[in-house]
Amino acid sequence: MKKALFFFLLCFGTFSTFAQNFGAQSSIKGRISGTVTDSIAKIPVEYASVSLYKDEQPAPVAGVVTETDGSFKLDGIAPGKYKLVISFIGYADKTKFIETTGAKPDLDLGNISVSANATSLNEVVVQANNGLVANKIDKIVYNVEKDVTAAGGSASDVLQKVPMVSVDINGNVSVRGDANVRILINGKPTGATSANVADVLKTIPADQIKNIEVVTSPSAKYDAEGSAGIINIITKQKNTSGISGSVSGGVGTRQNNLNANVNYNKNRFSLSANLGGNNGWPQDADFSSRQTIDNGTVNTLQTTDGENRVRRLGINGSITAGYEFNAFHNLRSTFRVNDGEWKSDGMSTNVFTDLNNAANNSSYTGETHSKNTWGGFDWNLDYTRKFKKEGHEFTFSSQWSHSKNTTDYVSLFSDFYPNQSANNDAKNNEYTLQLDYTLPVSEKLKLEAGGKTILRRISSNFVNMIPDADGDFIYDPVNSNLYDYDQDVFAGYAVGTITLPKDYTVMAGARIEQTNIKGDPTNALQTDIESFENKYTTFIPSVTLQKKLTDNASLKLSYTKRITRPSLNFLNPFINRSNIQAQTQGNPDLDPEISQTYELGYSTFSQKRTINLSVYYRHISGLIEGIATPLEDESGTITNYRNIGENNSFGMNFFGSVTLFKNLSLRGNFNAYTYKPNASGVFVDQQTQNDTYVQYSAFVSGNYNFKHDLVAEVLMIQNSRRRTLQGVNPAFNLMVFGVKKQFWNKTASIGLNITSPFRNGLEFKSESSGPGFTQQSSFNYPIRSFGLTFSYNFGKMSFSDAGKKGVNNDDLKQGGDQNQGGGMSPGQ
């Protein structure tokens, strides 16, 4: 608590010092803003040129291009009379004469309509259909707002349609086959993902999301965590004068969603609030398993058949306040909360066969009740100091993330096993301070530098209960434990971007991170978990070379190094016996994974087609996987997380889209890569998957725009089986249909989504083996669903990017956009 108090006193003390400079500005500077829209289609016009002229001077005193939502801001404008000129290819120039004063230095021009030239009208209409996927030099951006049937789904549903991203049936996310992904919200890490990322993503309504960025080759400015790269989820926030907002949601046979946004903007002050929830209907599934154990002392066979009912719900909310003191100083704070719950109730029939002694054979029933809850908050406080030169700025950012994850389970058996009950309370407090400085030396050279400190304080309080002589549960002091885990990360970086002759651009940088770790168990009766300390330094270089081939095509070569530190789920030494035959335990002694990726990419685009092709090689050392071993004196296995060795992977990714006709567009993504782990030390004998395996994920979708604002789409997803050192995880495939109708001048909509219309359930088969055991399992999960979605927007409709300030990862050099249309969310 003392560290938390010190953290916030430091933040507020820093800002108090900054505040002393606000009144010292020698002259008043203001802002001129507005939104440019097409006069006929009523849609934003992006990349339009906005120029500001003083009196009759021939050269403009300021100028910008409009954002993707058509908005623009001209900062640092002295009071006076001006001429504002808006121009864009295919449109007639728009001129407005304006005036600002010292009493009112800010001027919001609101919506500015521009008219298309008669000869260019058809081209403008085609452009309006584009924009679902933007392919930039450093990232892929999926614009969820332009996914016309995304309403009613969750973040997990939307991620299934993002290029290079795959999501399995349990909601686990991977990028190009690697599950070590860094998840950010508005450019910032969130404490919610320190628990179960898959469960958290399922509780975030898709209606809260503006777009999703996938960064596979991050520069040294980014945190080094996440070997697969970064997924940045940017939420919606409106940025227009007055009050605006939206209400959306969906009701279906699988899940229900409700989301509401309210925004208030007045002059330099902005305030926004968001609240959303996701509630899944109870889902019943059948399962079966077969496990053989032969470890020298135990030689058994167990078969299990049962049913399981799962329920899930979650709530997310945030409030953001910002104030721009003038064109050079602004302050912003966000408080985000989350809360979720996952419950499972199961019944099983079990047959135990002792292959050495038939007298020990037994049949028994099992009843298991488990509950996982999580919740917490993230509090961000950010200050930005801009200078007169465009792009020259300094940012101080701070964040406190608090999360709590609780796991409870009770297992009752009619025979053979003793009844069990346990509770695990895990807490994570994370304190972050960050400084970033950007200096555009010239039009061809930009320098960036900064530092970051992350202090993580994790505790795991495990309480084990055992039955007494009367069958009542009592506290077990031997197998209960309180474990404290501290992790401190100190980092600094420098990045340079330079434009060379012959259309070459180079971005190179380096980051160095010092990590200090300490683990401390408090139960002296438990001798298998010891205190430890560890320190290591990691050097993380990055370099990207881009060659512009034509105005519509480019070639990119990059090298990145990443580090994946194990999260709480991997570190927690609590033994989870909710599945008595397949127990799991974390490992606080884990080292991080280190990955190095080399990538060559080619991109080309036009109004009617987009192609992005990349090939890559990735080397991972310190590979973390779960290793199952037979229990010593029982029938069953326990899985521990270990650094098992390394993996070398070759892969390729292809994304393409094409507009075949005026109203029909197709898009697809295919990613394939190899998996061949090289186990080391004692894990060589544990390895049973010894070949080189090709794994893949793919999707294809078609979108058709009918008359009267009616849109229909079909989506098909296919993921191959996934290999591990000891086994195979199931494949996954899905088909989704959707239709959406907009009305009331596109301020409202209703839709229908259908998931898996031709198949009610999916069967998932897994198998694993190792010295002394083999096991197979089958899980039948209901997948067919129907859902109705709705949305309504009120107030002005100009959206702005909520992730532009603070610990913001949207900071790499931008290239040409490669856009295309269509999109849909899986059904309810």
235 CB-near residues (< 8 Å, 6+ apart):
185, 186, 208, 209, 210, 274, 318, 802, 803
Average pLDDT, the chain: 80
3-state secondary structure of 717: strand
3-state secondary structure of 783: coil
For the residues 634-657, what does the mean pLDDT come to? 90
Q: Note the pLDDT of residue 679.
A: 92
The answer to whether residue 808 scores a pLDDT higher than 50 is no
Q: Note the pLDDT of residue 193.
A: 53
**What confidence tier does 63 reach under pLDDT thresholds 50, 70, 90?**
confident
Least confident of 200-209, 295-304, 429-438: 200-209
How confident is the model over 723-771, as pLDDT tens digits? Answer: 999 999 888 888 988 898 888 877 788 999 898 888 888 888 999 999 9
Q: Distance (Å, rounded) from C-alpha 81 to C-alpha 99?
A: 4
Q: Distance (Å, rounded) from C-alpha 65 to C-alpha 42?
A: 19
Q: Note the pLDDT of residue 539.
A: 92
Q: How far is CA 297 from CA 293, 355, 537, 633, in A?
A: 9, 11, 45, 8
Least confident of 121-125, 132-136, 602-606, 748-752: 121-125
675 and 692 Cβ atoms separated by less than 8 Å: yes
How confident is the model over 321-358, as pLDDT tens digits? Answer: 989 887 788 899 999 999 999 999 999 999 999 988 88
Q: Note the pLDDT of residue 53.
A: 85
Q: Closest Cα to residue 735, out of 762, 751, 717, 711? A: 717
For the residues 367-386, what does the mean pLDDT come to? 92
Q: Distance (Å, rounded) from C-alpha 326 to C-alpha 269?
A: 11
| 570 or 537: which leads in pLDDT | 537
How confident is the model over 691-724, as pLDDT tens digits? Answer: 999 999 898 888 888 888 898 988 898 989 999 9
How confident is the model over 234-286, as pLDDT tens digits? Answer: 877 655 556 778 888 889 888 888 888 888 877 788 898 989 888 888 989 99
Q: b/e string for 523-536 if b means 16 or more Cβ within 10 A? A: eeebeebeeeeeee
| 435 or 193: which leads in pLDDT | 435
Q: Closest Cα to residue 485, out of 380, 339, 590? A: 590
- Please tell me the pTM assigned to this model: 0.71
Q: Distance (Å, rounded) from C-alpha 331 to C-alpha 269?
A: 10
The fraction of the chain above a pLDDT of 70, given in percent, is: 80
For the residues 402-423, what does the mean pLDDT come to? 90
The fraction of the chain above a pLDDT of 90, given in percent, is: 32
